[in-house]
Amino acid sequence: MLRIFSRLRPPRCSLSGSLNLAPVFTTRAPIRTNSPSPFCAPFSSSRKRKGSDEERDVGKEKDDVVPGVFVFGNDPQSPPRLFVVQPRLRPDSILDLKLSEALNLTKSLEEPRGGFFREDLTPKQIPSHLVVQNPIARSSKSHADTYFGPGTVENIKTHLKALESEDHIDAVFVNATLSGIQQRNLEISWGKPVLDRVGLIIEIFNFHAETKEAKLQSELAALMYKRSRLVRVRGSQGRLTFGINGEAEVVSGRGRGSGGRGFISGAGETELQLQRRRIQERRNHLLVQIDEVRRTRALQRSARRRHGGSNGHGLATVAVVGYTNAGKSTLVSALSNSDLYSDDRLFATVDPRLRSVILPSGIKTLLSDTVGFISDLPVQLVEAFHATLEEVVEADLLLHVLDSSAPNVLEQRSSVLEVLQKIGVSEEKIQNMVEVWNKIDLLITRDEALVEGEEERIMNRLEDLKEEKEAKLKEEDGILSNFQESVRSKQMAVVDLTERDLSSDLLQNEGLDLDDNQRTHYSDVRRLAMFNAHCEQEVANRIETSAITGIGLKELLSLISEKLSAQTLVEKKSYEPFSRKWRPSHNLEFDRAAEQ
């Protein structure tokens, strides 16, 4: 039966940049489709029936996703298949990392999740992919119309054709950021929907969202993204016109009569205007609902903070953040003895979850598992997921989970720090954050881990690793004390200087009257002292764990306990549950792109 479906499989997606947002055809009614019925005209709403019927339709429309806002419907029959195009990067190690991230993103969409898709795919099948010339490498600028040069576009088309002869490909994923025009032109050249990095991540969020909150937010992100993709195509003469897809055609009566009467009245809405209006209306509708979610969350947070504990005391929240796939959900499950959904795929968690844990001090605390981050996290997602990310901003303590086995762990670390700053986490919280270097079991070489019955050897190896780490820490301590020594000697030098040359008043004024030499010297000392304090804090805030084997979990709980009790958070500070009004920022760049 499945084979029949596969053979008959119709395109499950629409050309995303297309104005004529074509309906998605499915052989069976999808479980949750975002697409209109294949039998209704895409813009039939412009010819609404009069009276109460019309009102009913408007009300109904409010709950409908704007057609074509997601490229794929969540078709239960089979997941979409993508062809990955990776622009070449130098050095090769970076290319490998980016390519493997692109393939993982693709797999995240392609593979069945929790039995959601019925078709049996071979697990860990590597998606078809192609590394191509990077247009930015040559001229630091991509081609304005197609991103890639004409040769590369042709090359990809040939590969696509060859692949299509073997199996159906639903869309092409270009692991770069494309403009609306570039995306549209590539879609025309290749005859397939094209997703860029942002578009794919938004699709994954839509696939994985389960709660109402996550669904609303991923739809808002998709709408904001879509708004920037509404572009006009040039007709065969190269003019912006009543083009091949009728993008400038008048499709709705709205606006008619606004500028006068009879034949001098306004012509009505073009397809482009109609799409913009629909997106705007839906966006406003979603924002109202998301604000409700925010309000509820804020009230719940406030109640927890005031008297959430069993003894009526405040309950602290610890937010678990980190790069996607670092092991956050597995760690929260292990610490709280619960069973959160975790999976070896990117963005397995989109719906935030709270789990309670009893700390060694006997105090109950909530762990908040949330959506993972990624480098260049799309701004639309950060803005749309504000309600969810607010949990992170408002948490009493942050745990930053890192995948210590990832070759680019430091890059992932800085991406996460960047996102935390972007969403408004205070500098103080970032400084106080606990860094959890998870998956240390994977640091043992694969060969060793595979040898059966060698548990003892593995444990010894772990001990060795621990000792190595401790030795390294000691070494770092040595470096630190050298720093301290140099700071102290510099401080002494400044004191000498000031004693000899400056009055105490001048020193208090931070050397306003110091000469250049003295000022440089003094600021050097201050910088070094700050760096010194930072290093000391970093070492104290680090812990190594393995959520799977349980290594370091006890120590982690003790550290959380220690951190929380050192904080003044449980002091009943006044807390405003819902004070700020939030709207996604008006992004001029997107609007400009849409105008093109």
Ligand X SMILES: Nc1nc2c(ncn2[C@@H]2O[C@H](COP(=O)(O)OP(=O)(O)OP(=O)(O)O)[C@@H](O)[C@H]2O)c(=O)[nH]1
Query: Of these partners, ligand X, Mg ion, none, which one is at the site of residue 21 (CB under 5 to 8 Å by kind)?
Result: none
- To 5 degrees, how large is the angle CA 176–CA 383–CA 201? 35
Nearest approach in angstroms of CB 339 to Mg ion is 12
Nearest approach in angstroms of CB 59 to ligand X is 36
Query: Of these partners, ligand X, Mg ion, none, which one is at the site of residue 324 (CB under 5 to 8 Å by kind)?
Result: ligand X
Nearest in space to 130 (alpha carbons), one of 70, 201, 204, 190: 190
The Cα–Cα gap between 81 and 84 comes to: 10
DSSP 348: -
User: How far lies 135's CA from each of 132, 149, 152, in Å?
Assistant: 9, 7, 9
- One symbol per residue from 357 to 396: x for binding ligand X (CB under 6 A), - otherwise; what is it? ---------------x------------------------
Q: Is 324 in the site for Mg ion (CB under 5 A)?
A: no
Handedness of CA 169, 171, 177, 178 (dihedral sign): positive
Nearest approach in angstroms of CB 248 to ligand X is 43
Task: Closer to ligand X by CB, 100 or 245: give it.
Answer: 100
Q: Is 348 in the site for ligand X (CB under 6 A)?
A: yes
Q: Is 325 in the site for ligand X (CB under 6 A)?
A: yes
Nearest approach in angstroms of CB 437 to ligand X is 10
Whether residue 297 contacts residue 348, with contact meaning beta carbons closer than 8 Å, is answered with: no
Task: Closer to ligand X by CB, 73 or 322: give it.
Answer: 322
User: How far lies 596's CA from each of 57, 177, 223, 387, in Å?
Assistant: 33, 17, 18, 32
Residue nearest to Mg ion (CB): 349
> Quick one: which of 74, 252, 349, 408 contacts Mg ion (CB under 5 A)?
349
Query: Of these partners, Mg ion, ligand X, none, which one is at the site of residue 343 (CB under 5 to 8 Å by kind)?
Result: ligand X
Task: Closer to ligand X by CB, 152 or 545: give it.
Answer: 545
Q: Which residues of 504-529 are buried (b: 16+ CB within 10 A; e: fewer)?
A: eeebeeebeebeeebeebbeebeebb
Query: What is the strand order of the sheet 434-438 is part of?
Result: 353-358, 364-369, 316-322, 397-403, 434-438, 542-544
Task: Closer to Mg ion by CB, 348 or 366: give it.
Answer: 348
Nearest approach in angstroms of CB 393 to ligand X is 18
Nearest approach in angstroms of CB 425 to ligand X is 18
Output the DSSP codes for 526-546: HHHHHHHHHHHHHHHTEEE--
Q: Is 352 in the site for ligand X (CB under 6 A)?
A: no
Task: Closer to ligand X by CB, 346 or 379: give it.
Answer: 346
For the chain, the maximum distance between any two Cα atoms, rounded to a whole number of angstroms, is 92
> Quick one: which of 86, 329, 336, 415 contacts ligand X (CB under 6 A)?
329
Q: Is 329 in the site for Mg ion (CB under 5 A)?
A: yes
Q: Is 108 in the site for Mg ion (CB under 5 A)?
A: no
Helices (H), 209-256: 212-227
Output the DSSP codes for 85-115: EEE--SSHHHHHHHHHHHHHHHHHHHS-STT
Q: Is 347 in the site for ligand X (CB under 6 A)?
A: yes
Q: Is 92 exposed, middle or buried (0-12, 13-18, 19+ CB in 10 A)?
A: exposed
Neighbours of 134 (CB within 10 A): 17
Six-digit token pair at 17?
A: 């940049």
Q: Is 415 in the site for ligand X (CB under 6 A)?
A: no
Neighbours of 350 (CB within 10 A): 24
Task: Give the binding range for ligand X (CB under 6 A) out of 129-137, 251-259, 321-329, 490-498.
Answer: 321-329
Strands 82-87 and 269-270, sheet pairing: unpaired
Q: Is 547 in the site for ligand X (CB under 6 A)?
A: yes
Helix, strand and coil percent figures for the chain, each rounded to 5: 50, 10, 40
Task: Closer to ligand X by CB, 68 or 372: give it.
Answer: 372
Task: Closer to ligand X by CB, 128 or 404: give it.
Answer: 404
Nearest approach in angstroms of CB 371 to ligand X is 7
How many residues form the binding site for ligand X (CB under 6 A)? Answer: 23
Query: Of these partners, ligand X, Mg ion, none, which one is at the site of residue 548 (CB under 5 to 8 Å by kind)?
Result: ligand X
> Quick one: which of 225, 351, 546, 559 contacts ligand X (CB under 6 A)?
546
Q: Is 175 in the site for Mg ion (CB under 5 A)?
A: no
Nearest approach in angstroms of CB 347 to ligand X is 5
The Cα–Cα gap between 387 and 291 comes to: 8
Nearest in space to 296 (alpha carbons), one of 578, 31, 1, 583: 578
Task: Closer to ligand X by CB, 17 or 372: give it.
Answer: 372
In the complex, the residues that contact ligand X under the rule CB under 6 A are 322, 324-330, 342-344, 346-349, 372, 438-439, 441-442, 546-548
In the complex, the residues that contact Mg ion under the rule CB under 5 A are 328-329, 348-349
